[in-house]
Amino acid sequence: ADLDSKKRRKVAEIEQALSSEPIDVAALRRMAISEGGLLTDEIRCRVWPKLLSVDTDDLPPPPGKDLREDNKDYQQVLLDVRRSLRRFPPGMPDDQREGLQEELIDIILHVLQRNPQLHYYQGYHDIVVTFLLVVGDRLATALVEKLSTHHLRDFMDPTMDNTKHILNYLMPIIDQVNPEVHDFMQSAEVGTIFALSWLITWFGHVLSDFRHVVRLYDFFLACHPLMPIYFAAVIVLHREQEVLDCECDMASVHHLLSQIPQDLPYETLISRAGDLFVQFPPSELAREAAQQQAERTAASTFKDFELASVQQRPDTVLRQRFRERLRGEERTKSVLTKPRTNRFVKLAVMGLTVALGAAALAVVKSALEWAPKFELQIFP
């Protein structure tokens, strides 16, 4: 009953934030981040538009007949959507699912048609289907359009450069919290490709339970666009023991990390990701992320991305590359010269931020600073 009363209290607070004049978006962000997120899809339909400042009275018109005719991405989108069976609730009647798949194609083509600067990528449909299933096609179209021009903007460039840049934040975050895991991963030369599909689908592609996916979407919609990479780091850190027990080579570590466990303690990880964001904000990690780019140990990551983007299985790619590497080549371990000061002080503070829920507040603050000037470039 205690759980129920907590839920009822939260629902009441959400209602209050929605009915205040003007709407209390900061409170809605807090609710979306804090334990349990937004609780129900009915609430999400009302709150998600507020988190993205989308006007629900001004929804895009239903798709016209010509949408599919002259769209260069139609064939690829069609293929991806046909393959998306497992993203629909098990037991859904075929005709209902097929109807939703048609809507899914239309939403994607609509956004691309209205925003020629955006480039479709494989995995985009995994994000769109999440919105479609929660809020229905008209509202999903508006939310996805806003999201595509903001949070997802960097994935929709003609090149993967900005996506690579976001992935470059992963190792510096891990390094701040757990240098041992960081150094092990560096020695294994595993890179960050294992987290690519997590990042560009907001984990929609890799988590099999839809409830966990929408809970994460509550969190990501309320936060800074880089939060998904903090969440990825937290998953790796959560698996510290498995990682360190693994063979220290690229293929083994990549294989381990790319299989995401389905029983993750989501609420704990979400609050941990919020904490890390507060302690090591992107601005502080930007220099190290840029350095990652400069000194990648595993030859060139460009190859990985090319291969990943032609959708080969990354683990076979890695094994192949592993074999190709010159056997005689001396593996030079990069000498760790990074200053590792004040990490432990910061970790002591972490216990406090969890206790005080300061993370949620600070994340909300940073999201608010960021939201009004949506044009903010994450990349200087």
pLDDT in tens, the chain (380 residues): 677 899 999 999 999 999 999 999 999 999 999 999 999 999 999 999 999 999 999 888 888 778 888 788 999 999 999 988 889 988 999 999 999 999 999 999 999 999 999 999 989 999 999 999 999 999 999 999 999 999 999 999 988 888 888 999 999 999 999 999 999 999 999 999 899 999 999 999 999 899 999 999 999 999 999 999 999 999 999 999 999 999 999 999 999 999 999 899 999 999 999 999 989 988 888 888 877 766 554 334 444 444 444 444 444 445 444 444 433 333 333 333 344 444 444 444 444 444 444 555 555 455 444 433 333 333 33
Domain 1-155, what fold? Helicase, Ruva Protein; domain 3 (1.10.8)
**For 308, how many CA atoms within 13 A lie in the half-sphere containing its CB?**
25
d(CA 333, CA 322): 17
In terms of Cβ atoms closer than 10 Å to its own Cβ (0-12, 13-18, 19+), residue 227 is buried
Contact 63, 110 (CB under 8 A): yes
The CA-atom distances, in angstroms, between 106 and each of 69, 84, 92, 139 are: 11, 15, 20, 13
Burial 124-159 (b: 16+ CB within 10 A, else e): bbbbbbbbbbbbebebbbbbbbbbbbbbbbbbbeee
- Contact assessment for residue 50 and residue 146, using Cβ atoms and an 8 Å cutoff: no
Report d(CA 91, CA 301) in Å as an integer.
41
Parts of the chain belonging to CATH 1.10.8.1310:
1-155
Rounded to two decimals, the pTM is: 0.79
How far apart (Å, rounded) are the C-alpha atoms in residues 178 and 280?
A: 13
Say yes or no: domain 160-280 is CATH 1.10.472.80: yes
What is the phi-psi region of residue 40: left when phi exceeds 0, alpha when psi lies from -120 to 50, beta otherwise?
A: beta
Q: Which candidate, 130, 149, 143, 150, places its Cα nearest to that of 50?
A: 143
Number of other residues whose CB lies within 10 A of the CB of residue 14:
22
- Delimiting residues of CATH 1.10.472.80 domain(s) in the chain: 160-280
